[in-house]
Structure 1
């Protein structure tokens, strides 16, 4: 996706008959907004803190009122929002934030003709065919055309989705696969699970494959190794691991990567994702080369008789800065065409 900047005093020229379209990616911490004036032409990207606005509609209207946005697109009629939450009915109650809203009521409040709201991993899944060079391969072979793609991403939580091909195009799965039960594969992971059971009745994959999960893994390993655990944030654990000045932090990151390999491999065989497994979210892309040399790939392939099957499946780390915009753009285009 090409980002372009437009002078604030100049109205945005759009090839869309309804004018520029609003795109948004709403997480538990921040809401990212942009304008799309033509397919793939995205500009006026702003990130607004969720804590600064009482409602999502208030944040959306604040974005549209920003001087550069209002000058470029004085009347936006259509929009699409990806949100880190299940979207099953008209009413959305965010699990990691206080915002709750009716999609239809918000559409009317902001004055849009069409407003699509979808799960963020549904949008991210729809972006996969359009990533181009904005991905990095971690092992495996060549994608098999016209086969499913798998998507997993650790951040505030663990998102899971898939993209299924059909003669009419791609269908994104509305999955909550991050909440499957965590499955340990060695004695250390059994001990980590037993430690987590002290705090949680059910330990899902997300409990460990997330920012908070990195902290939980770190504390569990400190308990197992009988060493004191420092009061470190997940970001500090990752930073100290990457800088090489904390062996326990590095062990926690290594365990995280290996566990993610197991879960990604499970997704690969579940979906038959011979088109590839894609990794998004806020954690893995920031680990860079440390992730590439971790035990992720070996664990991804460690499925006994299905080792050869999985060894052929490529894994891609998504490196695009705003990939969800690609997905909501495609979803909104389909909605308007229909």
Structure 2
């Protein structure tokens, strides 16, 4: 699956790191141990951001919960947003984090902040076959470029380039490209949302809020009254009256597949497209694999190229932490 992306490693003593994954609601931490090309995660904890005044208070609480503050060779924390000059100020959270302060509070020799989808890209070489669910019959692509995309609170995407100088990650803001309908039904959705929001982006269709947008648009198209539903309610299809929600989930998965093919072309990800985020793994049982691949591959005149690209959903529970653990090379850590 990731044969072109194997990271080099130095045989010898273990390298210990503090790793984190910080979103608007949860701050997740673990301790990583890297040795001989393998990574183990231990002492995983998830803390609610609302319970802590800032990132450093949450980190201190984490050390208190695990009962120790071990020495670290490095600290690497994935954050939901762009990192600039070694710092991030969250847009949906009143926290600011700096690499120099992170190193000081963690007691780490080296500290790095990375985008959360960069962390997901860096995890790709370290995923086992059981950590993903392949959609469709294509198992192996070609070349050295993989991409990961996903829908959660927002929509993110990043690219991992392998080869002799890799792996190298390119973070993107692909969620903010314009949504492109591929049939009359989706054009009606676009018209509904354009009247409300003006420009309509991929993230406005493929995210938690995007599920609500789709549900409202589809209800309007069908001449039905839209209930005041949350994303979790929309994706819970076992209720007595889930008809409108089923249409919404169906449209969501169709658009997800179409965007998967678009980004495979835009990013040159011929080795494989991976889907992460909080929504897709919950919807695996609702995916019609033939339908998904048909939508993904409908990219004439390059349909044949996209048809050769594997598509998989990441089901590893701590993928961003695994990626954070491996985002820095051993040379960067030990230099």
> TM-score, normalized by length of structure 2?
0.89
Structure 2 residue matching 1:101: 3-state secondary structure: strand
> TM-score, normalized by length of structure 1?
0.88
Q: Quick one: distance in 2 between partners of 1:213 and 1:299?
A: 19
2:177 corresponds to: 180
Structure 1 residues 125 and 226, CA, compared in 2 at 3 Å: closer, same or farther? same
- Give runs of aligned pairs for residues 47-196 of structure 1, distance below 5 A: 47-66=46-65, 68-70=66-68, 73-76=69-72, 78-133=74-129, 134-196=131-193
Q: In the TM superposition, what whole-angstrom CA distance separates every residue of 1:188-227 from its partner, at most 9, and x where no partner exists?
A: 2111111112332321100110011001100111111111
Q: In the TM superposition, what whole-angstrom CA distance separates every residue of 1:34-54 from its partner, at most 9, and x where no partner exists?
A: 112344221111000111112
Q: Quick one: distance in 1 between partners of 2:96 and 2:200?
A: 27
| Number of residues of Structure 1 aligned to a counterpart in Structure 2 | 319
1:44 corresponds to: 43
2:251 corresponds to: 255
Q: Quick one: distance in 2 between partners of 1:140 and 1:308?
A: 14
- 1:308 aligns to 2:304 (yes or no): yes
Structure 2 residue matching 1:80: 3-state secondary structure: strand
Structure 2 residue matching 1:113: 3-state secondary structure: strand
Structure 1 residues 129 and 136, CA, compared in 2 at 3 Å: closer, same or farther? same
Structure 2 residue matching 1:279: 3-state secondary structure: strand
Structure 2 residue matching 1:166: 3-state secondary structure: coil
- More deviation, 185-194/252-261: 185-194
Q: Which runs of 5 or more structure 2 residues have no equivalent in the other structure?
A: 1-11
CA contact (8 A) 1:257 1:294 kept: no
CA contact (8 A) 1:92 1:103 kept: no
CA contact (8 A) 1:258 1:294 kept: no
Structure 1 residue matching 2:162: 3-state secondary structure: strand
2:14 corresponds to: 16
Structure 1 residue matching 2:327: 3-state secondary structure: helix
CA contact (8 A) 2:71 2:108 kept: no
CA contact (8 A) 1:82 1:328 kept: yes
Structure 1 residues 116 and 69, CA, compared in 2 at 3 Å: closer, same or farther? farther
CA contact (8 A) 1:268 1:310 kept: yes
